[in-house]
Amino acid sequence: MTTIAEHAALLAEYEDLTDALLARGDAEQAACAAQTGAAVFAMNHPGGFASARLDRALLAAGEALGPAPRWSGDGAGPRRVLHVLSHADAQGGHTRLALRWMGRDAGRRHSVVVTSPTGETPRPVLDAVTAGGGRELSVLDPAGDLLDGTNGLLERARRLRGMAFAHDAVVLYLDPHDPLPAIALGGLRERPPVLGCDVTDHTFGIGRPAVDLHVAPREQARRTAVTRRGIPDGRVRVLPLPVTSSADGAVRAQTRTALGLAEDDVLLLTVAAAYKFESAGAPHLLDLVEPVLHDYPQARLIAAGPSQEGRWAHAHARTGGRVAALGVVESAGLVAAADVVLESYPCGGGTFALEAASAGLPLLGFAPDPDEAALLSARSMSCGGWPYPQTPQAYRESLARLIADRTARAAAGREAWDATRLSHDAERWSAAVAGLYRDAAALGPVDPAELGEPPRAAERDSEVTHALHASGGKLIDPAKAATVTARVRLIAADPALATLFVHVTGGFPVPPRRFGQAVAAPAPEPAALVEAVARLRDASVSGLAERCVLVLDPNEIEAAVPTLEAALGDGGEFELQLTPAADPCAVLDFDTVPIPVAGDRLAARGIALA
C-alpha cells in the first residue's frame, strides 16, 4: 500500500510537470496534467486538500481562451440559473442535490450542463429542467472528436464559458478533479456569481478559482475549506442538504410484505456504497449488529449498496438469512419499510441519513474516533438528532433499546426529524438559497490572490481519508498511477511526444496507438544517455510501445555502459534493448515511434515525430 508521503512526492512532481508545460506555452496540456494529477490524488491522498500550483495551470488555460463575453447583472437576483455537474447519474449524491435544488428553487429558470457526460442524462434531471423552464446544454460538439481537438479541454471550457455568461448565476456540483469551470470562469472580474457545492469535502481537489461562494453541507466541510483548502472564511456558507420525506404508509406495507416481514418484525436498514463499510482495525458494522440480532430474533438487517459476498455472505449464513445485502438498489421503498436506520461506518452517508430523519425514523451512528467521525460521518449534519456511541458495547445497548421498545423508536424518530428540520422544510431551505445568491453577488468574483496557500502537512484528517480509501479498496493501484504519470512526463518532455496521447473526456491521457517499438538514438554524453533511458522507461511504462531500443554507435557502447547501468538502476525496472548501429535508421521499421532526446541522431537524419 502506498503512503501519504509517497503521494505528496508524486503531487510535487505533477506540480513541476504543470509548471514545465506552462513554461513551454502549452496551457491546455498543463491543465490536462492538473486534471490527471487531481484524479490520482482524490483517491491517493497527498496530505493536502488543494494545490495552488495546479490551480494556476487552470487559470493559465482560461487566459488562453481569450477575452470573455460581456456580462452585466441587473442586481434583481438571478432569474436564469445554470447547474453544472461533472456527471449525472440516477443514484449519485451530486445529481440528487441538483435535482432538489432545482425543485425547491421555484420561480427561476434552471438549465443543466454535464462537463464529462458518459451516457444519456437521467430522466429525472430532464424532467426537472423541463419543469424549471430551462434546457439541457452540452459542452460537446456532436460532430467533433478528441483527435481533431473540437472536444478538447479548452474547447469544452470555451463552450461552458459562453453558457455561463447567458445566465444570471451558476451552481457547481463537481468531481474533485473537474477542471472545466475553473478554466472557463476562474480569474474573470466580470461574470455571473458562481456557487460551488462542496460534496467531496474529505478529498483533495482542484478548481478553487472558479467559486465565489463555497456551499458546505456541514460545519466540518466549512472548516476544511478554510483551514485546509485556503478558502477565505467570508466566502464559505453552510447549507444543509435538501431532502424529501419518503414516509408512505402504502409503500411501507407493500415493501414489508415483499420482504416477508411480519407486523412485529423490526427492520434495520443501512444504505451506502460497499467501500464505506470497510475499516482497517476498527469494528465492522456487522460486528456491532450481529450480537444484537442473536438476542432479538424479531430483528433483521438489510444493507443496500454492498453485494451479498464476503463478510456479508458469511453474516447471511450465520444468521439464517436475517442479514441481507441487496447490492445497489433504489432505497426509497426500503426507507419506508424500515424501523431503525443504521449509519454506515466508518464513512457515513449524509444525504441518506437526512432522508431517514425526514421520514421520522430513528438513527444510530458509531463514533469510536472523534476525528474520524467529524470528517466521515453525518454527525455534524445531525444537529444532535441521533446518538453516536463511542464503544461497541454502548452501540449494542442503544440498538437493543430501539429494537425492544416501539415507544423509544417513535421518540427517537421525532427527535431526528425535529433536529434536521431545515433540510426537509422546503420553504426555509429555499429562503436560505435566496440568501446565498445575494451573498455571492455581493462578494463578487473571487480574486485568485485571495486564495491562501493550502497547507500540505499530513494532519489527522489526511490520515482518516487515506485510511478510508486504503481499507475500502479505493486507492489507485501503484502500477496504474505509474502508467498515467509516465504519460504525463512524456507529454511534458517534448511537444512532439504530446501528440501521441489524447485526454479522454473526464479521464486520463491514453495513447490511441501502441507501437511495436520505441527507439532513441542519443548522443553518447552521460546527460543524453540518462535522458534517453528515462524517456524509454516512460515509453514502456506508459504503454506507448511494446519494446524499447536504445541505439548507439558500436564504438560508443563500452564507454556508455556504466552510465546506462546507473540510469537503469535509478528508476523502475523495464526491458531495454541496447543495439549497436552506425546508422540508427537501420533498426527502424513501419511500427516504430522515434523518441526525441538530446543529440538526437535520428532527427539529424530527418527521422522525427511530425
Domain CATH code at residue 142: 3.40.50
Assigned domain for 424 exists: no
Arithmetic mean of pLDDT, 450-472? 90
| Residue 552 covered by a domain | yes
- Beta bridge partners, 578, equal 550
Establish if 221 belongs to a structural domain: yes
Confidence category of residue 380, pLDDT binned at 50, 70, 90: confident
Label residue 324 left, alpha or beta by phi (over 0 means left) and psi (-120 to 50 means alpha). Answer: beta
> 445 and 335, same structural domain?
no
Say yes or no to pLDDT of 244 above 80: no
SS3 assignment, position 303: strand
User: CA-to-CA distance for 55 and 18, rounded, in angstroms?
Assistant: 10
Look up residue 155 and give its amino acid. E
Percent of the chain with pLDDT over 70: 98
| pLDDT tens digits along 515-550 | 999 999 999 999 999 999 999 999 999 999 999 999
pLDDT-based confidence at 148, cuts 50/70/90?
Answer: low
Q: Is residue 490 part of a domain?
A: no
pLDDT surpassing 80 at residue 247: no
* Between 22 and 142, residue with greater pLDDT: 22
Do 394 and 351 sit in the same domain of this protein?
A: yes
Q: Return d(Cα 237, Cα 217) in angstroms, integer.
A: 9
Question: What would the grid cell of residue 131 be?
Answer: 419543469
List, for residues 576-598, the tens digit of each pLDDT value: 999 999 999 999 999 999 999 99
Shared domain check, 463 and 391:
no
Count of domains for the chain: 4
Do 11 and 28 fall into the same domain?
yes
Considering only 65-69, 408-412, 503-507, which range has the smallest mean pLDDT?
A: 503-507
pLDDT value, residue 74: 67
Query: Is residue 365 one of the residues assigned to a domain?
Result: yes
pLDDT at 204: 97
What's the pLDDT at 383? 80
Task: Judge if 533 and 460 occupy the same domain.
Answer: no
Q: Which residues pair with 364 in a beta bridge?
A: 342
| 3-state SS, residue 14 | helix
Q: Is the pLDDT of residue 119 over 90?
A: no
pLDDT-based confidence at 556, cuts 50/70/90? very high
Amino acid in position 272? A
Single pTM value for the model: 0.92
pLDDT of residue 324: 98
- The pLDDT, as a whole number, for residue 279 is 84
Amino acid 236 reads V
φ, ψ for residue 172 (rounded to 5)?
-105, 140
The C-alpha cell 433504489 sits at 330
Task: Provide the pLDDT confidence category of residue 506 given band limits of 50, 70 and 90.
Answer: low
Let me know if residue 484 belongs to a domain.
no
Q: Residues 349-358: pLDDT tens digits?
A: 888 899 899 9
- Asked if the model's pLDDT at residue 187 lies above 90, the reply is yes
The DSSP output letter for 320 is T
Note whether residue 487 is domain-resident. no
Domain shared by 182 and 124, yes or no: yes
User: Which range is most confident: 251-255, 302-306, 416-420?
Assistant: 302-306
Pairing state of beta strands 509-510 and 502-503?
Answer: antiparallel
- Residues 113 and 51 occupy one common structural domain: no
Q: How confident is the model at residue 56 (pLDDT cuts 50, 70, 90)?
A: very high
For range 150-179, the mean pLDDT: 95
Quick: pLDDT tens for 15-28.
999 999 999 999 99
- 282 plus 331 within the same structural domain: yes
Same domain for 238 and 253, yes or no, is: no
Are 538 and 486 a contacting pair, CB within 8 Å? yes
Residues 304 and 343 in one domain: yes
Helices (H) and strands (E) in the chain, counts: 25, 18
Look at residue 482 and tell me if it is in a domain. no
Predicted confidence at residue 605, as pLDDT, reads 92
509 forms bridges with which residues in the sheet? Answer: 503
DSSP string, 324-342: EE--S---HHHHHH-SEEE
Residues 131 and 212 in one domain: yes
**What is the pLDDT averaged over residues 222-245?**
93
Other C-beta atoms closer than 10 Å to the C-beta of 505 total 17
Q: What is the mean pLDDT of the chain?
A: 93
Region 484-513: mean pLDDT is 92
The residue segments making up the domain with residue 526 are 513-604
pLDDT at 150: 76
Write down the pLDDT at residue 243: 85
| Residue 588 shares a structural domain with residue 465 | no
Short-list 581, 590, 515, CA closest to 550: 581
Question: What order of strands is seen across the sheet that includes strand 133-138?
Answer: 133-138, 109-114, 80-85, 169-173, 194-197, 213-216, 236-238
Type of residue numbered 121 = T
Q: What is the pLDDT of residue 304?
A: 96
